[in-house]
Amino acid sequence: MSFRINTPNSLYGNFQLQNGQKSLQQSLERIASGHRINRASDDAAGMVIADKLASQRLGFGQAIRNANDTISIVQTADGALGQATQILQDIRVKALQAASGAQSQESRQAIQADIGKALSSLSDIAQNTSYNGQKLLSGAFSDKTFQIGANSGETVDLSIGSIDPGQITHETLGSLSEIDVTTDEGAQAAIQLADTALAYVNEQRSGLGSTQNQLSSTINNLYTAKNNTAAAESVIRDTDYAEESIILNRISNLQKARAFARAKADETAKKIVDILG
């Protein structure tokens, strides 16, 4: 009579035990990492899709930051333009004051001096208002393009005009910097120049307000898209803990049963060897 110590069944049992151990380690890794896909071999097609979604999600995040930066620029410029409006309103009031026949030449010269100081303050705002080293109200901030989407071409353009007194002009009366209220004619011209400047600044602020509203709406849409993309990525990449816990429990029970069967087989084989010995 002959006996087989290593039967096909025992070899297959060893194979199952080894594969079960790999499955057990994979399940434990998924639970520990929180990811169903930790390497391409876990799900090659799923990893490709998840990586594409991750790139899109990261793109949405950067677009949100870009849009917020643009809003900061708009708010900085608008705040300075608000100060400019107050200065121009003061200049207009002084021009009205100078236009009164009750003013002497001496008092008009004093008013002109006050207007000169106001114009100097306006010039300072034009030259010193900046964001990240870029002057916003000097006329240099023109045709700037901002990437506010996750894909090529999703941009917004922004230009902000100069509020330097020498750059704000009336078609027939010259520039704001040329205001001279020391004469009746000059005082009347100053009123018109102040009105022109105020209309110009209001136009700038209106454009900035419209841009800010557009950016705020864009940011809301980007957040929605980012969250939806993250959710889609999570479905593919992340671990379903409830499902994986069931899988882990099943594999653990199978491994225990296989280990028990292997131990019994080893015990039987040992007895046979002892008998033969």
Q: How far apart are the first and last CA of the chain?
A: 15
Same domain, 249 and 184: no
Alpha carbon distances (Å) from 80 to 90, 105, 246: 16, 34, 62
Same domain, 23 and 71: no
Question: Long-range pairs for 164-169 at CB < 8 Å and ≥24 separation?
Answer: 164/122, 164/123, 164/126, 164/127, 164/137, 164/138, 164/139, 165/119, 165/122, 165/123, 165/126, 166/123, 167/126, 167/139, 168/193, 168/196, 168/197, 168/200, 169/196
Q: Would you state the pLDDT for residue 138? A: 95
Same domain, 117 and 14: no
Please list the ranges in the chain whose pLDDT falls under 70: 1-34, 238-242, 244-245, 247-248, 251, 253-277
Same domain, 250 and 219: no
Q: What is the pLDDT of residues 228-243, one digit of tens each?
A: 999 998 888 766 656 7
Same domain, 186 and 123: yes
Same domain, 126 and 204: yes
Q: Would you state the pLDDT for residue 1? A: 46
Same domain, 60 and 186: yes
Q: Would you state the pLDDT for residue 44? A: 87
Q: Would you state the pLDDT for residue 171? A: 85
Phi, psi of 113 (to 5 degrees): -65, -40
Residue 214 in any domain: the answer is yes
Q: Would you state the pLDDT for residue 40? A: 73
CATH code, domain with 224: 1.20.1330.10
Same domain, 196 and 209: yes
| Among 211, 192, 212, residue whose Cα is nearest residue 200 | 192
The total number of structural domains that make up the chain: 2
Residue 255's domain spans which residues? 8-34+241-276
Q: Would you state the pLDDT for residue 277? A: 59
Same domain, 218 and 248: no
Same domain, 50 and 144: yes
SS3 content of the chain, % helix, strand, coil (to 5): 75, 5, 20
Identify how many contiguous H helices and E strands the chain contains and give both numbers: 5, 6
The CA-CA-CA angle for residues 47, 248, 28, to 5°, reads: 55
Residue 3 in any domain: the answer is no
Residue 205 in any domain: the answer is yes
Same domain, 90 and 203: yes
10 Å Cβ neighbour count for 102? 6
